[in-house]
Every structure is written in structure tokens, then in C-alpha cells.
């Protein structure tokens, strides 16, 4: 059996490996480290959790042991698709580089440029970055890649999914042609193969058997649900999630201690986390739209146990080393079959038992077919612990809704009846006014009006707009068509407030 001491690593690196508790390299480490130490390009095909990070950090530390970093010109470059994965690579580098004098810098979004510029200006041996932030620093003139001796691309297939391939090609062109390239991916899509053919020179290819069959330490359960109304799908799934959590927390065999809950969309991550917190569960969301400091605190809290439920997008599915996760929930069935393997791989690690639930609805069938085709087995079906309240006869609910307005109308009628009973007798006995009285009534005059007479027509009278002189209707001896109603103020209607009429009366009397 091969040991790390057989791989020609630096003695200081071997001492650091021993301190971490590892003694035997994984297949990808055993295959990638020797050619990397020889300065050859390496193409590694292996799934997450196979030890890819150590397979490039260990030879990098050994090769960079000689030499000196220069300001703004890093000696090596590691590209990672997400901030969390980049931070994890940096953490691994710190663990394995103990005893060496190598310096590193981490360039990721969500962190101040000022602090990152300060590190680059001092000179770094290892630069770990996400593609977007690296290009930002280069365009600002703060970073030169002409001194890169070793370049590593980690999780290249994830880079493809996130649309980073054009950025990767651009970064390759910024580095020297003589660099050594270590390229790692879980799959070899045609686009990935094109890049490796273009930028790698006669690479040594190490392919670890694909782990499409998930670990035997993980108990997989598929919970199927058919909502009565499509609009209630998300709400029903949240109810099912809470019911499973409550049931498994009380189990004696592998009880639920903590869990990662995966959603396909960021907005659903926030909704599910908010729903759990509202129901009294200790849950926090993590996705790409949150600030990096917030995401780091959330991950640290989940690792130390202060956060019990981590609701995540696929940003937490790959590459993150989160130990002792007892349960994983696929709140949404992943649209990419490979993501299913990555997600449930967060539990059942290092020989420990884990449980992975997937909640599905009929519209997820095509994704389930792809997953089961990939893992070459059918996911065991499990019992749905949640009973929808809609199992009551629909007629009873309709009758209750129909009864509500009836009760309201009966209360209205009772109040009207009571009010009519309380009316004075003389009011109730008063004769109704004659319906035709208004037609036989003589036209009202100014003298008969209880309030002051209306003023003369204003300047904006219709006759003025036709070019006549002011008050032209009155000068011709007529009162106009509104004679039976008295003078009126055009624009104010028949109901003119008394204080306005008084003001017009004063103006007319002054004249």
C-alpha cells in the first residue's frame, strides 16, 4: 500500500500531513502527485470528496519551496468556481503549508478590494481566486499574471455550469505559455475537453472511477407527493419537510442532529429558511446573493453546531468539507442528475451513517428518471409523514365559506330591525312626501333662498369663450338658460359652499 512518504514530498509537507491525521493517499492523490512533482501537466477526472484539493496543494507547496514572491506577481494561481470552495482551498493550504514560508492571498467577491490589494502588493506565492474577482484586479492594474509558474483549475465542470469558461480562457491567455497546468473536473463535457486540448500540453490523465453509485453509508428516501392544487406545491413541501424533521429527530437509530436543505433557486432558499425559523427551527440560508462575510459566518456556525439547519443553493453542494452532517434534504429535485450525487454526498462521509431525503411532485418525474439512470438504481420510496388538511371532504369547506357571508348578512338584518324598532313613533308615522311635489313647485327666486343670492357668472363663462363681452347674456336682457335656478358659478356645480358664495356677494355689493 502506498503512503505519502513514497510520493517524494517535502519533509515539512509530510509532517503537516501527519498532523492532519492522514496516512494513505486517495487514488486521485496517488495518481496526480508524482507527475505534478515532475512538472508535467495533469488532467484529473474525479468526483467531489475524492481528495482533489490535496492532490494539487501538496505538490504545489513542495515545488514552490524554492524561490521568492514578487509584488503583484504571484508564482502560482488556483481558480475555484465559488467563494466557499476558494476559501476551503485556502484553508487546506494553511494546514499543509505549516512550517514553510510561503505566502498566500485569497481573492473572492464580497470582500474589500483594499485588503486584497495590500496582500498582493506584499507579494504572494499562491493566489487563490474566483475568476470574476481575479479579472477585476487585473483590469484595475493591481495584478500581473506573467510570473505564474503553476496554474490550477478546480471543479472545471462547475465552472462550465456557471458560465465561467470564457473567463477561464481569458485568464489562460494572461499566463505564460511555459506554465504547468493542473486541471481537475468531475466530468468531461465537450467544452471542457476542448479547453484541455487547447491549453494543456501532453497531460497525464488520471481518471478515478465515477462515483455514480452513491455511498452505501447513505440511506436514500424518496417522498412523493401530489398536491391537490399546483399553487400549493411549495407550501405542501414545506409541511412535509417539517414533518420529516420532527419524526427523524425522535428516532433512536441515526437521529437527525443537523441537516443541509438544498433548493434549486435562491429565492426558494430564503423562503424555506424563513418558514423554518418562523416555525421555531434553528435555520439559516446560504446562497450567492449574500455577502461573503455573512456566508462565512453561516458556514462556521453550521460547522460548530450553533446553526442546526443550513438551507442552501448548489453553492454548498460541491467541494465543501462539512463534516458530521446527519441528514440531507432535496427540497427540490435537482435538474442536473450529477448534482444529486454531489448533494447527498454531504452526508455519510468518512464511514459515518447519513440519510438523504428527496421530496418530489409529479412534475419532477423527468429529473428523477435521469437521476436513477445515472446512479443505476431506483431510489427507495418512503412514507409521507404529512397528512394534508384537504383530506376532509371538499363540500364541508365550501359550506363553511358559504355560511360566513350568510351569518354576516343575518347580523346586518338584525341591526336594521333593531334600529327601526327604536325610531320614535311620530317619525315612523310621518307621511311620505308627495313624489311629484318637485315638479309643481314654483321656480325659486333669490328672495326665497335661505342663503345669499349667487354671484354673476365668472370670467370663464361659456359666452366669454365664444368672444362675447362679459355678462353678455345679462346685457341682452335675459337671465340665460339657468334662469329658473338663479345665478350660478360655472365650474363649482349646484352645491357651492356658503363661505364661497358670501365672498362673491361682497364683491358684487362693492360694485
Print burial letters for 80-106: b (CB count within 10 Å at least 16), e (below 16). bbbbbbbbbbbebbeebbeebebbbbb
Parts of the chain belonging to CATH 3.40.50.300:
4-207, 218-391
The full 3-state SS of 444-474, as one line of letters, equals CCCCCCCCCCCCCCCCCCHHHHCCCCCCHHH
In CATH, the architecture of 4-207 is: 3-Layer(aba) Sandwich (3.40)
Q: Assign 52 to helix, strand or coil.
A: helix
pTM for the full predicted model = 0.64
In angstroms, the Cα distances linking 163 to 169, 191, 262, 358 are: 12, 11, 21, 27
> Rounded to whole angstroms, how far apart are CA atoms 435 and 446?
25
Q: What is the separation, in whole angstroms, between the first and last Cα of the chain?
A: 120
The per-residue pLDDT for 189 is 82
Residues 6+ apart with CB under 8 A from 101: none
Query: Which residues are CB-neighbours of 429 under 8 A, at least 6 positions away?
Result: none
Residue pair 216/252 in contact (Cβ under 8 Å)? The answer is no
Local structure of residue 484 (DSSP, 8 states): G
Residue (of 212, 149, 213, 209) closest to 179 by Cα position: 149
Does domain 218-391 bear CATH number 3.40.50.300?
yes
Per-residue pLDDT reduced to its tens digit, 275-300: 999 999 999 999 878 887 888 899 88
Q: What are phi and psi of 186, to 5 degrees?
A: -85, -30
Phi, psi of 60 (to 5 degrees): -60, -45
Backbone phi, psi, residue 492, to 5°: -105, -10
Q: Are 343 and 318 in contact (CB under 8 A)?
A: no
Q: How many CB atoms lie within 10 A of CB 212?
A: 16
Q: Contact 89/78 with Cβ under 8 angstroms?
A: yes
Q: Rounded CA gap, 45 and 497, in Å?
A: 87
User: How far apart are alpha carbons 68 and 125 in whole angstroms?
Assistant: 7
* Distance separating alpha carbons of residues 318 and 211, to the nearest angstrom: 14
* d(C-alpha 2, C-alpha 488), whole Å: 108
In this predicted structure, what is the pLDDT of residue 179?
Answer: 96
Q: What cell numbers appear for 260 in the block?
A: 443541509
Backbone region of residue 280 per phi and psi (left: phi > 0; alpha: psi in -120 to 50; beta: other values): left
Ranges of residues in the chain with a pLDDT under 50 are 392-393, 395-418, 420-450, 452-453, 455-484
Q: What are phi and psi of 325, to 5 degrees?
A: -90, 120
Cβ–Cβ < 8 Å for 159, 131: yes
What's the pLDDT at 110?
80
pLDDT at 491: 57
Per the CB < 8 A criterion, the answer to whether 15 and 177 are in contact is no
Rounded Cα gap, residues 509 and 47, in angstroms: 99
Amino acid at each position: 500500500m502506498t503512503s505519502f512518504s513514497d510520493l517524494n514530498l517535502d519533509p515539512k509537507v509530510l509532517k503537516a500531513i501527519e498532523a492532519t491525521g492522514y496516512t494513505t493517499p486517495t487514488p486521485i492523490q496517488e495518481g496526480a502527485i508524482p507527475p505534478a512533482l515532475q512538472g508535467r501537466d495533469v488532467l484529473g477526472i474525479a468526483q467531489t470528496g475524492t481528495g482533489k484539493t490535496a492532490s494539487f496543494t501538496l505538490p504545489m507547496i513542495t515545488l514552490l519551496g524554492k524561490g521568492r514572491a514578487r509584488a503583484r506577481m504571484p508564482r502560482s494561481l488556483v481558480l475555484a468556481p465559488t467563494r466557499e470552495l476558494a476559501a476551503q482551498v485556502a484553508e487546506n493550504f494553511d494546514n499543509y503549508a505549516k512550517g514553510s514560508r510561503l505566502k498566500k492571498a485569497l481573492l473572492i467577491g464580497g470582500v474589500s478590494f483594499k485588503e486584497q490589494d495590500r496582500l498582493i502588493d506584499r507579494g504572494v506565492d499562491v493566489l487563490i481566486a474566483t475568476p470574476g474577482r481575479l479579472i477585476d484586479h487585473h483590469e484595475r492594474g493591481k495584478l500581473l499574471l506573467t510570473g505564474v509558474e503553476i496554474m490550477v483549475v478546480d471543479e472545471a465542470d462547475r465552472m462550465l455550469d456557471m458560465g465561467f469558461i470564457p473567463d477561464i480562457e481569458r485568464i489562460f491567455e494572461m499566463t505564460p505559455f511555459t506554465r504547468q497546468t493542473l486541471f481537475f473536473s468531475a466530468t468531461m463535457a465537450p467544452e471542457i475537453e476542448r479547453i484541455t486540448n487547447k491549453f494543456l500540453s501532453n497531460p497525464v490523465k488520471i481518471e478515478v472511477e465515477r462515483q455514480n453509485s452513491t455511498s452505501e453509508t447513505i440511506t436514500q428516501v424518496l417522498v412523493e407527493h401530489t398536491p391537490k392544487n399546483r399553487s400549493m406545491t411549495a407550501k405542501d413541501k414545506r409541511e412535509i419537510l417539517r414533518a420529516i424533521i420532527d419524526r427523524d429527530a425522535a428516532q433512536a437509530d441515526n437521529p437527525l442532529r443537523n441537516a443541509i436543505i438544498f433548493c434549486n433557486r435562491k429565492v426558494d432558499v430564503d423562503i424555506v429558511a424563513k418558514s423554518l425559523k418562523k416555525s421555531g427551527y434553528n435555520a439559516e440560508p446560504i446562497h450567492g446573493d449574500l455577502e461573503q462575510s455573512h456566508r462565512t459566518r453561516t458556514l462556521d456556525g453550521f460547522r460548530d453546531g450553533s446553526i442546526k439547519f443550513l438551507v442552501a443553493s448548489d453553492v454548498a453542494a460541491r467541494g465543501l468539507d462539512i463534516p458530521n452532517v446527519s441528514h440531507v434534504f432535496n427540497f427540490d429535485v435537482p435538474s442536473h442528475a450529477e448534482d444529486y450525487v454531489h448533494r447527498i454526498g454531504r452526508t455519510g462521509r468518512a464511514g459515518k451513517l447519513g440519510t438523504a431525503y428527496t421530496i418530489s411532485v409529479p412534475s419532477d418525474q423527468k429529473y428523477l428518471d435521469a437521476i436513477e439512470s445515472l446512479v443505476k438504481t431506483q431510489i427507495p420510496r418512503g412514507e409521507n409523514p404529512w397528512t394534508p388538511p384537504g383530506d376532509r371532504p371538499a363540500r364541508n369547506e365550501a359550506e363553511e365559506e358559504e355560511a360566513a357571508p350568510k351569518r354576516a348578512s343575518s347580523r346586518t338584518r338584525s341591526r336594521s330591525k333593531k334600529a327601526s324598532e327604536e325610531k320614535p313613533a311620530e317619525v315612523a308615522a310621518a307621511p311620505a312626501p308627495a313624489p311629484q311635489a318637485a315638479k309643481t313647485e314654483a321656480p325659486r327666486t333669490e328672495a326665497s333662498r335661505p342663503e345669499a343670492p349667487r354671484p354673476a357668472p365668472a370670467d370663464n363663462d361659456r359666452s366669454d369663450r365664444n368672444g362675447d363681452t362679459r355678462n353678455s347674456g345679462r346685457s341682452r336682457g335675459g337671465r340665460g338658460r339657468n334662469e329658473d335656478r338663479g345665478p350660478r358659478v360655472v365650474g363649482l356645480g349646484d352645491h357651492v359652499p356658503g363661505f364661497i358664495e358670501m365672498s362673491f356677494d361682497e364683491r358684487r355689493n362693492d360694485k
